[in-house]
Amino acid sequence: MAGKIYALIIGIDDYPAPVPKLSGCIHDANAMKAYLENRFPKDSLFIKTLFDKDASRLNILQQFEGHLGKAGKDDFAIFFYAGHGSQEKAHEAFWSIEPDKKNETLVCWDSRIEDGMDLADKELATLIDLVAEKCDNVVLMVDACHSGGITRNIGEDEVQERAVDMDVRAESAVNRTRSLDSYFVRTVAADEADGATGRSVHFEEVKVIVPSPRHIAMSGASSFQTAKETTLGRLRRGVFTFSLIKVLEESPVPLSYTEILRRVRALVTNKANDQMPQLDAEIPADAERLFLSTVKANNNLGFLLYYDTKNIGGWVIGAGQLLGIQTNAKVLIYKASVQDLKDKTSYLGKGTVMNATGAYSIIGADFVLDTTLHYKVVVLPNVSQPKSGFIVISDTPAATGLLQTALETSPTAKTYTRMVATPTEADYVLYAYKGDFMIGNKLDGMVKERGVDKPSVPLATQITGYSAQNAEKAITYMEHIGRWKNTLDLGNPISQLDASQFVVTVYQVGADGTQTPIGVQFYKDATKGKNQMSNIVFGYTDDNNLPKFQIKVENKSGQRLYFSLLLLSSQFGVFNAFKEVGYWLKPDEFALSRTGRFIVPKEFRAFGRKEVTENYKLIVSTEEFDPRLLIQDDLGLPKPNMRGGLDPLRGLNKIIGDVQNRGVMFDDEDTEAPSFDWTTVLTQVKVKYNGV
């Protein structure tokens, strides 16, 4: 952490009637304050606290902008809130982006008294945007729920939900819908250009800006769940905040936000029912940064193994069939503090996947584990698991030997890929040519140069130089590709979900924010478990005037389901296309992707290719899962001027369907169905460059 930390810490217990009082929010706020003071130097830390009546709506607005607004580019702005969360009726201007016509809100101390108002999510986004104009590191931690609920008692623990119903307010305001001018949001004339990053909605002659600023948010529960508080460590505490600080204080090594969330979820699962903490990052890569740092974490960390006392009564990892994990697969078990799992000799012992559902797997260890600790797991290659095949074509046996050694010594590569001996078995080609390692699609995508095969168009950035280190990098590329292809092919042949009930609509977004559908697609009943949409064509002519697009996903089934939408790029990246990690959608509700722009990269056009295909994988399940476990970066575009002297593309249209490019820039399956059910739908968009 190079800069300063500005923190606004809010705890509200003593709500005035009719809002139920709480008991643990100020304890949570003080615990977060103490953690920051113990971790960071005093001269770099600037904390402002607002407790009970000081946490009025006006005061929160003023301190958010005034105190957190002091944070500069390299500083951190932290907003911590412990109190009630709720919903309120949204103004009709927001109905196009709110399928349930409600705002999610934080209940300020004076929100529910006469003439009081909650702090709506649109207003919070505006506040974050004001701070993010100068600061790249805005972090929110919210221990509240955003749905209605009631207080309930469970035994002597007296578990209380941090929820207040939207109608619990002054009698005169029960049926009130706030006027548009009461919102703390930015508005412009309807015909003005939208210079803000985020969504814009039209209402009469006004355009309302709902920004999507760069930030990271950790919250205590999903939008339909309640966040609980109970007695923990002899004090009333929020289960989420107590677990969060426990993870932060007890870890011997710095953790990423993603790893923190996994550990917090494991703790919360054993303390509260129906509460799933959430993590959202406007820029997905930020979730892989170390907590309150700009340093990216090591991603080679395996799966978190924890003992689930409340639901399973056994050892669990939060990954299953959706990540290709199968029952009876073997695993290696490591200490939780291990940062790099390449050394297979450092494991504590072995185990077996006893049962793999869609979202999690139950692990049986071959030795005794401490149920009070967390561990890490690497799943070993399964013989029956599909793997991408690649053939090595080399201009020297030495380069082939380097690649074979790198494959054998990799702890995870053989889980997703395999080296084959014949062209008919190969999905891809790993080519060693004139000192460079290059990846091609298939042998029919090769050209001859002086009688020697080489890729017509490399699928990723070439790796220069024959060395053991570069061979390891090339094998890492192949593993990366294998993971990507597994996600592309992901399907559930025994699913009982009707994929025709999930509607995917692709819109072109005009300069004025209007949406024109360019494709509404239902699933085509081909091979059950791999439901694929027909192609949509999206054309443009000018790199300087790239068209915007947005994707809408609707739930037309009769049940609430969890939806995740992934973009799979041709540089073998996997990215979250939704604004949030995923959405629980009730029947007839919808979710929108982030607004983006399609482009055919110039690197491909240099080889003569003017058309690419974008893949969007919709995953629908009956339980929440973590799609972040599928996310990976691009491998990078090929470089035309490598010493291999690559020729322009000639007659390679026959494999365009096999080679897709990430031409997207985001602004911002006759068997009884299992209790956990999931299915997928693949939508493809062909992007054509029609310029010269």
Residue by residue, DSSP assigns 220-278 as SS-TTS--EEEEETTEEEEHHHHHHHHHHHH-SS--BHHHHHHHHHHHHHTT-SS---E
Q: In whole angstroms, what is the distance from residue 190 CA to residue 208 CA?
A: 8
The pLDDT of residue 281: 86
Residue by residue, DSSP assigns 489-544 as T---TT--S-GGGEEEEEEEE-TTS-EEEEEEE--EEEETTEEEPPPEEEEES-TT
Q: Which amino acid is at 530?
A: K
The pLDDT of residue 633: 84
Radius of gyration in angstroms for the set of CA atoms belonging to the chain, rounded to a whole number: 26
Q: SS in 3 state form for 136-173?
A: CCEEEEEECCCCCCCCCCCHHHCCEECECCCCCCCHHH
Picking from 306, 239, 246, 317, the residue whose alpha carbon sits closest to that of residue 275 is 239
Sequence-separated (6 or more) residues with CB below 8 Å from residue 560: 224, 584, 585, 586, 587
The pLDDT of residue 450: 43
Q: Is 554 helix (H, G, I), strand (E, B) or coil?
A: strand
**Assigned architecture for domain 303-379:** Beta Barrel (2.40)
The pLDDT of residue 156: 32
The pLDDT of residue 15: 94
Q: In whole angstroms, what is the distance from residue 221 CA to residue 638 CA?
A: 42
The pLDDT of residue 416: 83
Other beta carbons within 10 Å of 320: 23
Tokens matching residue 176 = 């009130």
Cis peptide before 18 (omega within 30 of 0): yes
Long-range Cβ contact pairs of 515-519 (< 8 A, separation 24 or more): 515/550, 518/549, 519/685
Picking from 543, 538, 502, 544, the residue whose alpha carbon sits closest to that of residue 523 is 502
Picking from 7, 15, 135, 24, the residue whose alpha carbon sits closest to that of residue 80 is 7
The kind and range of the H/E element at 476 are helix 468-488
The pLDDT of residue 667: 53
List residues bridging with 436 in a β-sheet.
433, 464
Tokens 């995870």 map to which residue?
412
The pLDDT of residue 523: 54
Sequence-separated (6 or more) residues with CB below 8 Å from residue 108: 12, 55, 56, 57, 60, 83, 116, 118, 119
Tokens matching residue 118 = 């909650």
Residues of the chain with pLDDT under 50: 147-158, 172, 193-197, 444-445, 447-451, 526, 528, 642-663, 668-674
The pLDDT of residue 347: 87
Q: What is the DSSP letter of 289?
A: B
Determine the distance from the C-alpha atom of residue 56 to the mean position of all C-alpha atoms in its chain, rounded to a whole number: 33
Picking from 163, 208, 158, the residue whose alpha carbon sits closest to that of residue 181 is 208
Determine the distance from the C-alpha atom of residue 655 to the mean position of all C-alpha atoms in its chain, rounded to a whole number: 31
Q: CA dihedral in degrees (438, 444, 446, 447; nearest 10)?
A: 180
Sequence-separated (6 or more) residues with CB below 8 Å from residue 325: 317, 319, 353, 356, 361, 379
The reply to whether domains 303-379 and 388-487 share a CATH topology is no
Domain ranges for the chain, please list them: 5-87+101-164+213-288, 303-379, 388-487, 499-689
**Assigned architecture for domain 5-87+101-164+213-288:** 3-Layer(aba) Sandwich (3.40)
Q: In whole angstroms, what is the distance from residue 56 CA to residue 107 CA?
A: 9
How long, in residues, is the chain?
Answer: 692
The pLDDT of residue 132: 93
Q: In whole angstroms, what is the distance from residue 202 CA to residue 648 CA?
A: 47
The pLDDT of residue 427: 87
Determine the distance from the C-alpha atom of residue 691 to the mean position of all C-alpha atoms in its chain, rounded to a whole number: 34
Give CATH for domain 388-487: 3.40.50
CA angle at 512 for the pair 506 and 518, rounded to the nearest 5°:
20
